[in-house]
């Protein structure tokens, strides 16, 4: 994970939960710091996501705030315990902190929900499909393309591990017909990859039909990641032109979840979505 004073989504999520707990007890940063034996500066850094906190110290703080055993406590301690995997250390000098945060959260998710109106989701892309998309956005930086493609494909292992997350990607019907790079062979291979993934028990691919295109105006591409162990910690990540936006405010996340359910209500059923993908995949 990124180091230094760049806040990671994990640190921000822990910090916001601690700040909310402190406010609930009407305590000042100075009071908590004094009781906890730490400086005000350290406490402020933790609450702002600028300072990592050790699991044992976090446990003591949660005791101070009377947060008992349960989903919230378990999830926060899990976030604090996480250690970067070897692939994160491999890519951390070449991949943005936001991309590393997203991939790290994917690995710790019990459920991943994704809405993609224009392209196949990254977790389901073939290398050739990913390369065409990534190359277009990095025409001025061709030396980055291979690392970015390798990184995107490496993220996909989360779906093939023994305990994969429940994955619910919603894609617009047009995605099944949109060629990348003007190459029909790339799209054909990509649709076949989708058909194979959609047969997995933990993958619930849903297609938003073209007859419901008004739903495309609801929200831009985004992901909802509900972290292990199952609890109350869900992060929404929105894709924008130059950055990814991590939404951690519970009210905003709840709104994004409601929007996803609305999108889901307009999609074809899981069976009908799979049938459509298979029909397209079987065309010569």
Helix (H) or strand (E) holding 102: helix 97-107
The CATH number corresponding to 9-81 among 1.10.15.40, 3.40.50.300, 3.60.20.30, 1.10.260.40 equals 1.10.260.40
Which residues make up the CATH 1.10.260.40 domain(s) of the chain?
9-81
Over residues 238-244, the mean pLDDT reads: 82
- Find the radius of gyration of the CA atoms of the chain: 21
Q: What is the mean pLDDT of the chain?
A: 88
Count Cβ atoms below 10 Å from residue 240 Cβ, excluding itself: 10
pLDDT confidence of residue 13? 80
CA atoms of 53 and 57, how far apart (whole Å): 7
pLDDT band at 2 (very low <50, low <70, confident <90, very high): very low
Specify which residues 246 forms β-bridges with.
Answer: 237
- Name the CA dihedral angle for 137, 171, 204, 13, rounded to a multiple of 10 degrees: 60
Q: Residue 242's CB: how many other CB atoms inside 10 A? A: 4
The tokens for 233 are 């910690």
What's the pLDDT at 74? 82
Residue corresponding to tokens 């993958």: 203
The structure's pTM equals: 0.80
Compute the distance between CA of residue 46 and CA of residue 96 in angstroms, rounded to an integer. Answer: 22
Least confident interval from 5-9, 17-21, 107-111: 5-9
Asked whether 255 and 242 are in contact (CB, 8 A), the reply is no
CATH C-level class of 95-281: alpha beta
Site of tokens 């690995």: 107
State the DSSP string of 33-71: HHHHT--HHHHHHHHTTSS---HHHHHHHHHHTT--SSH
List, by residue range, all CATH 3.30.870 domains of the chain: 95-281
Q: How far apart are CA 100 and CA 91, in angstroms?
A: 8
CA distance 244 to 237: 6
CA 36 to centroid of chain Cα atoms: 33
Question: What's the confidence (pLDDT) of residue 3?
Answer: 40
Per DSSP, which regions of the chain are E strands?
109-116, 166-172, 206-208, 222-227, 234-239, 244-247
What letter would DSSP give residue 164? P
Place of tokens 């850094």: 45
Residue whose entry in the numeric block shows the structure tokens 């691919």: 205
pLDDT band at 101 (very low <50, low <70, confident <90, very high): confident
Q: Quick one: CA torsion of 206, 117, 111, 72, rounded to 10 degrees? A: -140
Residues facing residue 113 across a β-bridge: 168, 224
Of residues 221 and 73, which shows the higher confidence score?
Answer: 221
111 three-state secondary structure:
strand
- Residue 66: what pLDDT? 93
For 44-83, how does the pLDDT look when each residue is reduced to its tens digit (9 = 90+)?
999 988 888 999 999 999 999 999 887 778 878 878 886 6
pLDDT > 70: what percent of the chain? 92
Q: 143: which DSSP letter?
A: G
């Amino acid at each position: 994970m990124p180091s230094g004073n760049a806040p990671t989504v994990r640190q921000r999520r822990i910090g916001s939960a601690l700040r909310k707990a402190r406010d609930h007890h009407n305590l000042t940063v100075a009071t908590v710091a004094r009781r906890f034996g730490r400086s005000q500066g350290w406490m402020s850094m933790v609450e702002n996501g600028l300072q990592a906190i050790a699991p044992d110290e976090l446990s003591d703080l949660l005791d101070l705030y009377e947060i008992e055993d349960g989903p919230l406590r378990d999830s926060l301690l899990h976030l604090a315990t996480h250690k970067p995997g070897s692939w994160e250390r491999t890519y951390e000098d070449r991949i943005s902190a936001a991309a590393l945060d997203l991939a790290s959260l994917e690995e710790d998710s019990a459920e991943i929900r994704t809405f993609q109106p224009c392209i196949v989701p990254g977790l389901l892309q073939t290398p050739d499909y990913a390369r065409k998309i990534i190359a277009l956005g990095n025409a001025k930086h061709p030396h980055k393309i291979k690392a970015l493609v390798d990184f995107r494909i490496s993220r996909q292992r989360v779906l093939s591990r023994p305990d994969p997350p429940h994955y619910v990607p919603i894609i617009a019907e047009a995605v099944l017909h949109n060629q990348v790079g003007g190459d029909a062979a790339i799209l054909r291979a990509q649709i076949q990859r989708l058909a194979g993934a959609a047969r997995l028990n933990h993958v619930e691919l849903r297609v938003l039909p073209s007859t419901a295109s008004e739903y495309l105006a609801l929200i831009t591409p985004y992901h909802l990641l509900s972290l292990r162990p199952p609890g109350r910690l869900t992060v929404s990540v929105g894709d924008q032109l130059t950055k990814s936006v991590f939404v951690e405010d519970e009210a905003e996340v709840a709104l994004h979840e409601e929007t996803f359910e609305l999108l889901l209500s307009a999609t074809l059923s899981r069976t009908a979505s799979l049938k459509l993908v298979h029909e397209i995949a079987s065309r010569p």
